[in-house]
Amino acid sequence: MLGGSFWLALLRNTISAGLMLSFFLMLDRPRFSMKKTTGCYIAFGASLVTAYSLWYLFGNKSFVQYAALSTLPLIGIFCSLMSSEVLYLSLYKMALAFYLFSVSTFCGVDVARWAFDGNALVDILVRFLCSAVILIITWKKFRRQFLGGVDFLIEEMDMFSAVTLFVSVMLGAIMAYWPNLQGFSIFNMVRAFLILFMAGVLQYAILHLYIHLGQEHYYQAEKELLEVNEQLLHQQMELMKESEKEAARIRHDVRHHTLLIKEYLSKGEFGELLDYLEEYGADVANRNAEEVCMNRAVNSILCAYAKKARSQDIRVLMDVRVVEGIPVRDIDWVAILANIFENAIHGCAASGCPEQEIRIYIAQKGNKIMIQCCNTSTPASFHKGLPQSDKGGGTGVFSILKAASRYDGETDFSMENGMFVTRILLNLPTGEPA
């Protein structure tokens, strides 16, 4: 806006492009390695700065009118292609980057025109200082907060809300850069300042709103998980009490068995003694506690819920092949298996079928854990691949997703031949003991 030589325009464009690209990269989780990503950003930034500087040299009037707004789609498309995030989150970050670019440009141009008679070097200096302050604050303060809450943003934001934020920033930018209003005046400067200030407050408020909503849902899921864990512990205590009663009964009966064995021996009735011992051995074998697998946490969870299901006349079949020492936290086993089993029991009960069944298969292959649960169910409805409950809630599914995400897991929910099928794949950390 303040003119100057080709080299001044090159420097001005470098500061602006560097601010937008650096800000986006700081808040991004790239699709490629950081080395490759940085190289692509540098190559794209250099090409963009060169092209815009040539535009300034050969089409100064159109550059002044349209250069600022045209950077948004160009940089936005490039950054979205380089990012591994969903599209609407990239749109949101691009809106923030463009807003900060607008603030830097506004400060540089209007400070230079207001107090230094439009000195281009002052414009460049102010832009550089603003960009440096923005990037330092972003790196030291905002980056950690944003990346720490980015999963909450993904869960809470959708395309509509991201586009709404994007449009709000665009409206502010269009008003600030409207070609017919670029002449300097105190009114125009105050107007642009107020527009950019309101847009910034709006962005910041909505960012915190989404993070707060995400945290609320996360804490609700954690609360639900603790309640499920507490229920499981109560069931385990009941099983322990029953085991203690059974052990006391066995100790009491041992005296009678001993006396009877002595009686057979004293009379030399060895055939009758052998028959008795075989009968007693079969009875003891039938009383043994159910052993589903060698992993204690998995075995305890499955046994507790299998007993609950069988008490409701639900047939339970389990094929579990996992051992002790798997690098999966017990609390995550609870979140996944307890919620799967609980949902399966509810599904069977709601189906009203005379014959209800739950089939669970768990196996480990290399660094992957495969979990599949099939249960009798009525036809289920799905939204974005997730089952929707007629009674609302859905916290159990959310807990499963959160626990699986800690292991870069994949989840799938479907209906197959009248059975509700849940599939989960967990990727164990490489190098951990299997």
Q: Which of 41-55, 81-95, 305-319, 351-365 has the lowest mean pLDDT?
A: 81-95
Tokens found for residue 417: 């031949």
Q: Is the pLDDT of residue 432 over 50?
A: no
Of residues 11 and 399, which shows the higher confidence score? 11
What's the whole-model pTM score? 0.56
Greatest mean pLDDT range, 4-18, 90-104, 106-120, 261-275: 4-18
Nearest residue to 419 via CA among 373, 350, 363, 365: 373
Over residues 244-258, the mean pLDDT reads: 68
Pick from 37, 19, 23, 15: which is nearest to 146 by CA? 23
Q: What percent of the chain stands above pLDDT 90?
A: 24
Please state, as a whole number, how many other Cβ atoms lie within 10 Å of the Cβ of residue 96: 24
Q: What is d(CA 199, CA 96) in angstroms, rounded to the nearest whole number?
A: 10
Q: Indicate the fold that domain 296-427 takes in CATH.
A: Heat Shock Protein 90 (3.30.565)
Q: What is the rounded distance in angstroms from the CA atom of residue 413 to the CA atom of residue 198?
A: 43
317-361: pLDDT as tens digits: 999 999 888 888 887 888 888 889 988 998 999 888 889 999 999
Nearest to 434 by CA among 363, 358, 379: 363
Is the pLDDT confidence value at 83 over 50? yes
Q: How is the chain split into domains, by residue range?
A: 6-222, 239-287, 296-427
pLDDT bucket at 434, cuts 50 / 70 / 90: very low
- Say what the pLDDT of residue 210 is: 74
pLDDT at 391: 55
Identify the weakest region by mean pLDDT among 2-16, 61-75, 275-289: 275-289
2 pLDDT higher than 60 = no
The pLDDT of residue 433 is 40
> For residue 48, what are its two tokens?
């963009």
Amino acid at 402: K
Q: What is the pLDDT of residues 44-72, one digit of tens each?
A: 999 999 999 999 888 888 887 778 778 88
| Highest-scoring range by mean pLDDT, 23-27, 248-252, 253-257, 381-385 | 23-27
Is the CB of residue 301 less than 8 Å from the CB of residue 339? no
pLDDT at 287 over 60: no
Question: Where do the DSSP E strands lie in 301-356?
Answer: 315-321
Q: Does position 279 have pLDDT exceeding 90, yes or no?
A: no
> In sequence order, what are the residues at sequence separation of 6 or more whose Cβ sits closer than 8 angstroms to the Cβ of residue 181?
175, 188, 191
Q: What pLDDT sits at residue 17?
A: 92
Q: What is the pLDDT of residue 422?
A: 94
Does 301 score more than 90 pLDDT? Answer: no
In the predicted model, what is the mean pLDDT of residues 199-207? 75
- Which tokens in the block code for residue 181? 């209003």
What's the mean pLDDT when you consider all of the chain? Answer: 81
136 versus 389: the higher-pLDDT residue is: 136
Q: Which residue has the higher pLDDT, 198 or 80?
A: 80
Q: Report the range of poorest mean pLDDT among 2-6, 225-229, 238-242, 373-377.
A: 238-242
Q: What is the mean pLDDT of residues 88-94?
A: 82
Instruction: Determine the pLDDT at residue 235.
Output: 63
Please tell me the least confidently modeled range out of 203-207, 241-245, 342-346, 347-351: 241-245
pLDDT band at 393 (very low <50, low <70, confident <90, very high): very low
Q: Which of 87-96, 165-174, 293-302, 341-350 has the lowest mean pLDDT?
A: 165-174
| DSSP H/E element including 35 | helix 34-58
